Amino acid sequence: MLAVAKEPQIQKAVVPVKTERASPQTDYKVISVAHFYNEPDEQTRRKAFINYWNNSYASIRPLDETDGFIYVVFKNHLGQTTKGWLRKKDLKRVKGAYENTKE
C-alpha cells in the first residue's frame, strides 16, 4: 500500500489595519481643492478632484476613515459619481444633517 504524506499546515498571520469607521454625523466640506486618491496614501493621487468654488454646495459624508484620509462616494451636480479617498487636511468638518444643531 502506498503511503500519502500529509502536507504541512500553514497558518496565515492576520495583521490588523488601523481603520476607524466614520460617524454617521461627520460631514466635511472642501477648503479649496481636494484630490481623489486610489488608496489612503499620498502616492496614489488621481486627476479627479473636488473644487470648493464649483462644489461649495457639497457636504461630504465619509464611509470610512483611516490614516488622515476619508473614503467617499461623491456625486457632482452633473450626476457623475466618483469614489475614492480624500485627505482630511483638504477638508473642514461641518455639522452633519443628523447632528443636533441646538446649542
pLDDT digits (tens, 9 = 90+) for 46-99: 999 998 776 656 678 899 999 999 999 988 878 889 999 999 999 998 876 544
pLDDT the model gives residue 24? 52
pLDDT beyond 80 at 29: yes
- Distance, in Å, from the CA atom of 60 to the CA atom of 62, rounded to the nearest integer, reads 6
Q: Which residues pair with 81 in a beta bridge?
A: 75
pLDDT the model gives residue 3? 59
pTM, rounded to two decimals: 0.68
pLDDT the model gives residue 63? 94
Domains, the chain, ordered by start = 26-95 (2.30.30.40)
Judging by beta carbons within 10 Å of its beta carbon (0-12, 13-18, 19+), is residue 62 exposed, middle or buried? buried
Averaged pLDDT, 9-17: 47
The strand ranges marked E within 3-80 are 26-30, 33-37, 45-51, 64-66, 69-75
pLDDT beyond 70 at 22: no
